[in-house]
Chain A
Amino acid sequence: MGELATEKHVQYILSVEKKKDDFQSVVMEHLRMNGAYWGLTALDILGKLDTVDADEVVSWVMSCQHESGGFSGNVGHDPHILYTLSAVQVLALFDKLDVLDVDKVTNYVVGLQNEDGSFSGDIWGEVDSRFSYIAILCLSLLHQLDKINVEKAVNFVVSCKNMDGGFGCTPGGESHSGQIFCCVGALALTGSLHHVDKDLLGWWLCERQVKSGGLNGRPEKLPDVCYSWWVLSSLIMIDRVHWISKEKLIKFILDCQDTENGGISDRPDDAVDVYHTYFGIAGLSLLEYPSLKPIDPAYALPVDVVNRIRLGKRHAI
């Protein structure tokens, strides 16, 4: 089995940050805030966050904030809850949450909760259980969870539960690993995991592991490195991760590395991107791969960052 090409991946992530002119970079320009979160969290897990200039990042992040309190995916774009979370997570990585006007961000997120407990992604009203997770996580990091109706939020997430124990994006929607991660995460953060049928969902999730060792996102689909994160973190939150073969999955992720130029792809021999690079590295961290910082399965941030925020003396008072 190969080894994790740490140095190459660091170089790759740093190069993506600078590359702005090729087609893929232009296509993804509007979600640069997500990209920043993926790249920087991956660097932190690799122990290399200090290779970036924190002040520069923080000032760029803050330049994406709007009057409403929400953040956009890049300068000039519209605010959305997806990028608001990434912005808060990036600031959390650098221990810079204090630059935020907490009330302003909180009001933005609180304003997106609907009567039925669900959350819209922005003012245009698209509803998705992903946004419930994002809202809960965002407020959790800001110590403001009590500002929303948590009970209703939880009830909406539970209403997205299916016969297979998984969750969909709205009530009746098919189970999908990414969506399951969001819903299980939302329930984990609100102490509501008793709503999950752990054995049933655990079986569905562990059956995502295919012969190659990789994980797919739904039955009868191809494996993909990003599901290493969605499926693994869900399995960990419900204490069923021992139901898959960790060794085989580690091998699959390592096989998806570009050992020459750095980066990780969805499947072996596909083109790499920062998204799959992050999910590959985060997945390896969840698999306790040596010398990686442990990542928290619900907050999707390094454990030391989460503990500093949630268990630290400063905020506990």
Chain B
Amino acid sequence: MHGRPRKPQKPEEAEASAVEAAKLQNLQSQLLANHHQKNYAKEALEVSANLLEMNPDLYTAWNYRKLAVEHYLKESSSDIVSIEAILNEELRVAESALRQNVKSYGAWYHRKYILSKGHSSTDHELRLLGKFQKLDARNFHAWNYRRFVAGLMNIPEDKELKYTTDMIDTNFSNYSAWHNRSALLAKLLNQKAEGYFPMEKVLNEEYELVHQAIFTDPDDQSGWFYHLWLLDQTVKANPPYLVSSWPPHSFNVALSRTRCLDNHTPSPFCSFYSDSGTIPLILYFDQPVQGVDSSSVIVKSTANLRDLIWKPLSKCNRDTSKAWISHLTFPQEELNSEFYSVEVSIGHSQKIASATGFHHVKPTQISFKVAVNFKETPSEDFGNERIRWKDENFTSCGISPHNFPFGSDNSTSEGDYAPSTSEWCVETINNEIALFRELLSETDCKIGKLTLARLLMAHAATSPHANEMIQLEEVLDLYQDLMKFDPSHFHFYKDEHSLVLLQKVTSTRESLLRHCYSYKEQTSPYIDSTACLRLNNLSISRIGCVEKILWVQLLDLSHNELGSIDGLESMQLLSCLSLSNNKIGSFTALEPLRLLKSLKVLDISYNEIGSHSIDTTRYLFSSPLSHSEEIDLSSDEMATNCTDLASYWEAYFLFKDISLMQLDIEGNTISSESFKAFLVKILPKLHWLDGKQVQ
């Protein structure tokens, strides 16, 4: 099926092929007859051997031979010589089949099956493998078989690692060897085996080896992924730390149960409305962690808070997450306008740990105050105002940098919200940066540019420093360059570029403030904070750095190139969001919204929902397709709407958990009158749809 030239057969070829076909057909019929009659006579076995030499993929013939082996082994249960003869014959048949087709699954498995009976020389197997691996050093069947034999013989991992070194020394361009090396090395490092500790020393040597591969031929991919893996090992060798929180340290939060706030609001960024007198408490770590609970996070308060329940902020992963949320519920019966202080401390226990097993060890404390305003009963009158995302509704004045919840300059002790990177890690990254700059000065190659960009980002993440801005500019240039250099992967670089751009925007108080506006309609019923972050018209295709903007309640992402909003699920305070004029291709791409319980206003007008026949987020969305959600036909509204449900199931699953009051959907292919009627049915609280009041 592979690599046969397309050409009409010459008559003599056709004839020869017909003869072969008839011969094969004949052998196959005989085989099946023998198989069904359980005929394991010598001649019958010979038929199967001849057949497998012609057609090594014929699985039924291998099964037949296994049955024959079992049959004969039973007969000669104690006679070692005849047992060996039986098994050796099988190894011979499998070997000649492999010579015919070295990629035959059936032949390789037959060999394994026989070997598991324990009667063959494993040395012989290694010699045979040597031959096959010389013929094709990338044959993954042979590599798999090698791992199997090594396991059977208890060959120590470092000996097999030496074999990969030899293979790599023979030819750098052997991805299979690099792969096996990573698997073996990971085990050895994990065991802290002799000679493989400390990790730093081992990794330094590995960098040297992979440099040789990359610098010899930068276009050969064999070393690319290994280098990235090493970088990942280098960075991950640091303990997780808290990058941000909401409320941020030393902040005053105004919590009100009524829609109208008093004049004494401490800051437009930190007033918050909640029907139930509850505020979210969010902890955001630099890497996914587990073990966040009421024993690893101690919360003390002058208010009488109940025991906290912590949940990871990601839809499907129940164990580890960068962001964790809990809710603080303030007692309702107490007097209004009282300040409660809250102190959150982590790091006293070893319980919070990264996926790689590093523990959060640095004692970290966040304290903030909450002013609770309970004096009026919640008003049911939500008025007739709707949020308008037009430029004229926003003003840049009125936002003072005072009391701005910008993470890194609000820490109590030095080092809060800051990494504790090892010296070795910083030094290694610096060395790599220097080396790849050198490579680029010699040759213009994409892996050089891409790796340098990644290294600079790793550098920025592990050692925040004064010239971060300059480095981010350099990374942006590198990705710009790559988009031109390697246009086939344009959007890969574009996505990376977007993440860096967002990092730049959010990296300083000044740059972030340039995107902060005040919504002019102060009395709008939907919002309590009038501060809006406008990241519109930035040409971003991906979202990042949400940890820097956890405080945002109004977010304008319109006029970008977003096809995905992954990450937005951490922005738990969001109540108004505009994604208008982006490239959202389906409702399933909006999955993160399902976790935003405060969301009231959503603008997804002028996107591409309904325009694509292939949905690229179909399986990143919880639904019956992935067994992560059931259709509940018992609920009233659904019983009457089954036809609608079949056509609009994505919208149903997306919106059923969000109580939207305002939705803009026009400018999408899906937005027909019948679809809008469906939306009105599944969104009982909807007041506004496409600018029109819902009856």
Q: Chain A: residues with CB nearer than 8 A to chain B?
A: 21-23, 25-27, 29-31, 72-73, 76-78, 80, 122, 124-126, 140, 145, 150, 162-164, 168-170, 172-176, 188-194, 200, 202-204, 206-207, 209, 213, 218-221, 224, 236-245, 248, 258, 265-267, 269-273, 275-276, 285-288, 294, 296-298, 303, 306-307, 310-313, 316-317
In the bound complex, do residue A239 and residue B616 qualify as a contact, i.e. CB atoms below 8 Å apart? yes
| Set B4, B147, B487, B646: member contacting A271, Cβ < 8 A | B4
In the bound complex, do residue A311 and residue B624 qualify as a contact, i.e. CB atoms below 8 Å apart? yes
Bound CA span A239–B562, Å: 12
In the bound complex, do residue B618 and residue A297 qualify as a contact, i.e. CB atoms below 8 Å apart? yes
Q: Which of B222-230, B245-253, B668-676 contacts A (4 or more CB under 8 A)?
A: B222-230
- Residues 639-675 of B, flagged 1 when their CB comes within 8 A of A and 0 if not, give 0001001100100000000000000000000000000
Bound CA span A287–B612, Å: 10
- Residues 7-48 of B, flagged 1 when their CB comes within 8 A of A and 0 if not, give 100000000011011001100100010001000000000000
Residues on A with beta carbons closer than 8 Å to the beta carbon of B220: 220
The answer, yes or no, to whether B631 is at the interface (CB within 8 Å) is: yes
The answer, yes or no, to whether B564 is at the interface (CB within 8 Å) is: yes
In the bound complex, do residue B626 and residue A190 qualify as a contact, i.e. CB atoms below 8 Å apart? yes
The answer, yes or no, to whether B81 is at the interface (CB within 8 Å) is: no
Bound CA span A317–B619, Å: 22
Residues on B with beta carbons closer than 8 Å to the beta carbon of A272: 6
| Set B5, B32, B617: member contacting A77, Cβ < 8 A | B32
The answer, yes or no, to whether B424 is at the interface (CB within 8 Å) is: no
* Smallest beta-carbon distance A225→chain B, Å: 10
User: Quick one: given A219-B222, A258-B6, are A243 and B491 in contact (CB under 8 Å)?
Assistant: yes
Residues on B with beta carbons closer than 8 Å to the beta carbon of A219: 175, 221-222, 224-225
Most-contacted residue by chain A among B1, B58, B105, B564 (CB, 10 A): B1
Residues on A with beta carbons closer than 8 Å to the beta carbon of B623: 311
In the bound complex, do residue B627 and residue A191 qualify as a contact, i.e. CB atoms below 8 Å apart? yes
Bound CA span A193–B495, Å: 20
In the bound complex, do residue A22 and residue B625 qualify as a contact, i.e. CB atoms below 8 Å apart? no
Bound CA span A313–B647, Å: 12
Residues on B with beta carbons closer than 8 Å to the beta carbon of A218: 138, 140, 175
In the bound complex, do residue B491 and residue A242 qualify as a contact, i.e. CB atoms below 8 Å apart? yes
In the bound complex, do residue B3 and residue A245 qualify as a contact, i.e. CB atoms below 8 Å apart? no
Bound CA span A78–B35, Å: 10
In the bound complex, do residue B492 and residue A311 qualify as a contact, i.e. CB atoms below 8 Å apart? no
Bound CA span A224–B3, Å: 10
Residues on B with beta carbons closer than 8 Å to the beta carbon of A224: 2
In the bound complex, do residue A271 and residue B563 qualify as a contact, i.e. CB atoms below 8 Å apart? no
Residues on A with beta carbons closer than 8 Å to the beta carbon of B487: 245
In the bound complex, do residue B646 and residue A307 qualify as a contact, i.e. CB atoms below 8 Å apart? yes
Most-contacted residue by chain A among B563, B624, B628 (CB, 10 A): B624
Residues on A with beta carbons closer than 8 Å to the beta carbon of B491: 242-243
In the bound complex, do residue B316 and residue A76 qualify as a contact, i.e. CB atoms below 8 Å apart? no
| Set B225, B495, B619, B642: member contacting A163, Cβ < 8 A | B225
* Smallest beta-carbon distance B609→chain A, Å: 15
Bound CA span A287–B613, Å: 9
Residues on A with beta carbons closer than 8 Å to the beta carbon of B36: 76
| Set B63, B179, B622: member contacting A162, Cβ < 8 A | B179
In the bound complex, do residue A163 and residue B317 qualify as a contact, i.e. CB atoms below 8 Å apart? no
| Set B109, B228, B617: member contacting A239, Cβ < 8 A | B617
- Residues 167-194 of B, flagged 1 when their CB comes within 8 A of A and 0 if not, give 0000001011001101100100000000
Residues on B with beta carbons closer than 8 Å to the beta carbon of A258: 6
In the bound complex, do residue B60 and residue A269 qualify as a contact, i.e. CB atoms below 8 Å apart? no
In the bound complex, do residue B58 and residue A30 qualify as a contact, i.e. CB atoms below 8 Å apart? yes
Residues on B with beta carbons closer than 8 Å to the beta carbon of A80: 59
User: Quick one: given A26-B25, A192-B316, A239-B616, are A76 and B624 in contact (CB under 8 Å)?
Assistant: no
In the bound complex, do residue A174 and residue B143 qualify as a contact, i.e. CB atoms below 8 Å apart? yes
In the bound complex, do residue A172 and residue B147 qualify as a contact, i.e. CB atoms below 8 Å apart? yes
| Set B18, B55, B186: member contacting A27, Cβ < 8 A | B55
* Smallest beta-carbon distance A180→chain B, Å: 13
A selection of 28 A-B contacts at a CB cut-off of 8 Å is A21-B21, A22-B18, A30-B60, A78-B60, A124-B62, A124-B66, A124-B113, A164-B179, A164-B225, A169-B140, A172-B147, A176-B140, A191-B627, A194-B317, A207-B224, A213-B488, A219-B222, A220-B173, A245-B488, A265-B6, A267-B3, A269-B6, A271-B6, A271-B7, A297-B619, A306-B625, A311-B631, A311-B646
User: Quick one: given A22-B18, A27-B24, A221-B138, are A170 and B144 in contact (CB under 8 Å)?
Assistant: yes
Give the residues from 285 to 316 in chain B that come closer than 8 angstroms, CB to CB, to chain A.
314-316
Besides A164-B179, A207-B224, A220-B220, 18 more A-B contacts (Cβ < 8 Å) are A30-B28, A76-B60, A124-B63, A169-B140, A169-B144, A172-B147, A173-B144, A174-B175, A188-B626, A191-B626, A192-B316, A193-B626, A209-B488, A218-B138, A237-B618, A237-B619, A238-B620, A310-B625
The answer, yes or no, to whether B520 is at the interface (CB within 8 Å) is: no
Bound CA span A239–B541, Å: 13
Considering only CB atoms, which chain A residue lies closest to B493 in the complex?
A243
| Set A242, A270, A303: member contacting B4, Cβ < 8 A | A270
Residues on A with beta carbons closer than 8 Å to the beta carbon of B628: 191
Residues on B with beta carbons closer than 8 Å to the beta carbon of A190: 626-627
Residues on A with beta carbons closer than 8 Å to the beta carbon of B685: none
The answer, yes or no, to whether B126 is at the interface (CB within 8 Å) is: no
Considering only CB atoms, which chain B residue lies closest to A218 in the complex?
B175
In the bound complex, do residue B59 and residue A266 qualify as a contact, i.e. CB atoms below 8 Å apart? no
The answer, yes or no, to whether B158 is at the interface (CB within 8 Å) is: no
Q: Chain B: residues with CB nearer than 8 A to chain A?
A: 1-7, 17-18, 20-21, 24-25, 28, 32, 36, 55, 57-60, 62-63, 66, 105, 109, 112-113, 138, 140, 143-144, 147, 173, 175-176, 179-180, 182-183, 186, 220-222, 224-226, 228-229, 314-317, 487-492, 495, 563-564, 589, 612-614, 616-620, 622-628, 630-631, 633, 642, 645-646, 649
| Set A150, A164, A193, A220: member contacting B229, Cβ < 8 A | A164
Residues on A with beta carbons closer than 8 Å to the beta carbon of B226: 163
Bound CA span A173–B108, Å: 14
* Smallest beta-carbon distance A218→chain B, Å: 6
In the bound complex, do residue B646 and residue A30 qualify as a contact, i.e. CB atoms below 8 Å apart? no
* Smallest beta-carbon distance B623→chain A, Å: 8
In the bound complex, do residue A239 and residue B564 qualify as a contact, i.e. CB atoms below 8 Å apart? yes
In the bound complex, do residue B5 and residue A270 qualify as a contact, i.e. CB atoms below 8 Å apart? yes
Residues on B with beta carbons closer than 8 Å to the beta carbon of A22: 17-18, 21
| Set A124, A206, A311: member contacting B649, Cβ < 8 A | A311
Bound CA span A122–B138, Å: 28
Bound CA span A287–B614, Å: 8
Considering only CB atoms, which chain A residue lies closest to B151 in the complex?
A172
In the bound complex, do residue B489 and residue A243 qualify as a contact, i.e. CB atoms below 8 Å apart? yes
* Smallest beta-carbon distance B593→chain A, Å: 16
Residues on B with beta carbons closer than 8 Å to the beta carbon of A188: 619, 626
User: Quick one: given A26-B21, A27-B55, A174-B140, are A313 and B179 in contact (CB under 8 Å)?
Assistant: no
User: Quick one: given A169-B144, A204-B225, A207-B221, are A288 and B612 in contact (CB under 8 Å)?
Assistant: yes
Bound CA span A242–B495, Å: 10
User: Quick one: given A221-B138, A276-B1, are A76 and B32 in contact (CB under 8 Å)?
Assistant: yes
Considering only CB atoms, which chain B residue lies closest to A209 in the complex?
B488
Residues on B with beta carbons closer than 8 Å to the beta carbon of A23: 17-18, 20-21, 24
In the bound complex, do residue B488 and residue A270 qualify as a contact, i.e. CB atoms below 8 Å apart? no
Residues on B with beta carbons closer than 8 Å to the beta carbon of A140: 627
Residues on B with beta carbons closer than 8 Å to the beta carbon of A72: 60
In the bound complex, do residue A73 and residue B59 qualify as a contact, i.e. CB atoms below 8 Å apart? yes
Bound CA span A312–B642, Å: 9
Residues on A with beta carbons closer than 8 Å to the beta carbon of B7: 271
In the bound complex, do residue B563 and residue A173 qualify as a contact, i.e. CB atoms below 8 Å apart? no
Residues on B with beta carbons closer than 8 Å to the beta carbon of A173: 140, 143-144, 147
In the bound complex, do residue A298 and residue B619 qualify as a contact, i.e. CB atoms below 8 Å apart? yes
* Smallest beta-carbon distance B670→chain A, Å: 15
User: Quick one: given A206-B489, A311-B625, are A191 and B59 in contact (CB under 8 Å)?
Assistant: no
* Smallest beta-carbon distance A55→chain B, Å: 26
Considering only CB atoms, which chain B residue lies closest to A313 in the complex?
B642
* Smallest beta-carbon distance A211→chain B, Å: 8
In the bound complex, do residue B57 and residue A30 qualify as a contact, i.e. CB atoms below 8 Å apart? yes
Residues on A with beta carbons closer than 8 Å to the beta carbon of B63: 78, 122, 124
